[in-house]
């Protein structure tokens, strides 16, 4: 069994925060793969379903971000889920907006939700890091993370969430690299069609106008021929 965890803060006022992109990602997966309705359990909100060939539980801790590990730990212990079968989706400042990276283990890199999970189940779980970009100034980080996604962000956010949801079965197969590649492929801009060979090359000369065939003199009537002969004879006699 898989445990898919989305990190965020509970409540409507946090719903569109960049810090809640983990909640958004697991909601997109649950909706796309027909998971059951949400219910309260393990100090969180859970939904049951199947991802690929694996049974899966989606968990959104309702403990607030800094205590996410309490909810994750309860669920993992109840179902006897090993850390490598726990997949956590969360926001990443050090990735450009719309970029995604998957890794297993590692440090918390300053993310309080990940630090809390580390303290309850260890650090051997899988992480899906979703880029929200850095504001460029350390003093602006808190407002950036705890601020709503801008309207312009929807241009990359909605396609990203849809790609995460559609390619999530690769995570169920423990194929993290294939998942990451498939998401990137989904988000890649369409290739431009190859230029038509019939189009003129940059250095080609424009087509020259076709030469007009030489015009033939109109045919002479017998009367005209007789008149010319008679005229020539007259010229000679003179």
Computed over every residue of the chain, the mean pLDDT equals 89
Instruction: Give me the helix-helix angle, 112-121 and 68-79, nearest 10°.
Output: 30
Identify the CATH class of 2-187.
Answer: alpha beta
| Stretch among 54-63, 104-113, 206-215 having the lowest mean pLDDT | 206-215
Say whether pLDDT at 95 is over 90: yes
Residue 19 annotated as catalytic = yes
Catalytic annotation, pick one of 17, 19, 33, 111: 19
Predicted confidence (pLDDT) at residue 236 exceeds the cutoff of 70:
no
Percent of all residues in the chain with a pLDDT value above 70, rounded to a whole number: 82
pLDDT > 90? residue 230: no
Q: Residue 174, class by beta-carbon neighbours within 10 Å (0-12 exposed, 13-18 middle, 19+ buried)? A: middle
Question: Where in the chain are the domains?
Answer: 2-187
pLDDT at position 191: 77
Q: What is the per-residue pLDDT for 65? A: 97
15 Cβ contact partners less than 8 Å away, ≥ 6 residues apart: 23
With cut-offs at 50, 70 and 90, classify the pLDDT of residue 205. Answer: low
pLDDT score, position 200: 53
**pTM to 2 decimals?**
0.81
When computed from its CA atoms, the radius of gyration of the chain, rounded to whole angstroms, is 37
Q: In what order do the strands lie in the sheet with 126-131?
A: 39-41, 44-51, 54-61, 2-6, 86-92, 126-131, 100-104
Q: What is the arithmetic mean of pLDDT over 39-62?
A: 97
The 3-state DSSP class for residue 8 equals coil
């Amino acid at each position: 069994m898989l445990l898919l965890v989305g990190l965020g803060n509970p409540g409507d006022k946090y719903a569109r925060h960049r810090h809640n992109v983990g909640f958004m990602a697991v909601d997109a997966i649950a909706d796309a793969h027909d998971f059951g309705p949400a219910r309260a359990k393990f100090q969180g909100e859970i939904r049951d379903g199947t991802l690929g060939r694996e049974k899966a539980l989606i968990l959104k801790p309702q403990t607030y971000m800094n205590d996410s590990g309490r909810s994750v730990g309860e669920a993992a212990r109840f179902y006897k889920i090993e850390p490598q079968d726990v997949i956590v989706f969360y926001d990443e400042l050090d990735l450009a907006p719309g970029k995604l990276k998957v890794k297993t283990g590692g440090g918390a890199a300053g993310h309080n939700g990940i630090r809390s999970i580390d303290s309850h189940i260890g650090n051997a779980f899988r992480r899906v890091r979703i880029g929200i970009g850095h504001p460029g100034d350390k003093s602006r980080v808190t407002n950036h993370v705890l601020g709503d996604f801008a309207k312009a962000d929807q241009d990359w956010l909605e396609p990203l969430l849809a790609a995460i949801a559609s390619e999530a079965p690769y995570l169920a197969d423990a194929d993290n690299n294939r998942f990451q590649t498939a998401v990137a492929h989904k988000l890649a801009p369409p290739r431009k069609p190859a230029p038509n060979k019939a189009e003129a090359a940059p250095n080609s000369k424009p087509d020259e106008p076709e030469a007009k065939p030489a015009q033939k003199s109109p045919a002479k009537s017998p009367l005209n021929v007789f008149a010319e002969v008679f005229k020539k004879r007259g010229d000679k006699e003179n």
